[in-house]
Amino acid sequence: MILQINNKKTKNNNIIESVKLAAKIADEKKAEYIKVLDMRSRLVITDYFLVISVNNPRLSKRIHEDIEKKLKEKNTYPINVTGSSEGNWILADYDDFVIHILTNDFRDYYDFERLWRDSKTIEWKE
């Protein structure tokens, strides 16, 4: 039983490390808005949302490509990616976390975070 608890804790630390890495990559690429939401108490389908907002679809595609490449180097692969051809809203589902890369216009239009406004935020900068 203790081993399972330790494995669960280790798994959660690996998830957080992956989410923070993705956030840092977006920051390096000049994303305008980056927020990590803790969804563990809200959803059963995933633990964290990483919300990234950028000026244009080309930048969202570039950020997605860079994040995917770095996470693959750490043997972390998405189970599904949608929206990458258009770039206005790219959703990359990594099972334990989901990355949303939206253009500013899409984020404003869909008022994306209104639904999750009372979710706990996770600090990703060190």
- For 58-97, write each residue's pLDDT tens digit: 999 999 999 999 999 999 999 999 999 999 999 999 999 9
Structural domains of the chain, with CATH: 2-122 (3.30.460.10)
CA distances from 125 to 12, 16, 58, 122 (A): 18, 12, 25, 9
100: left (phi over 0), alpha (psi -120 to 50) or beta: beta
CA 53 to chain centre: 11
Neighbours of 98 (CB within 10 A): 23
Rg from Cα positions in the chain? 14
Its pTM surpasses 0.75: yes
Comparing 11 with 8, the larger pLDDT belongs to: 11
pLDDT at residue 1 above 60?
no
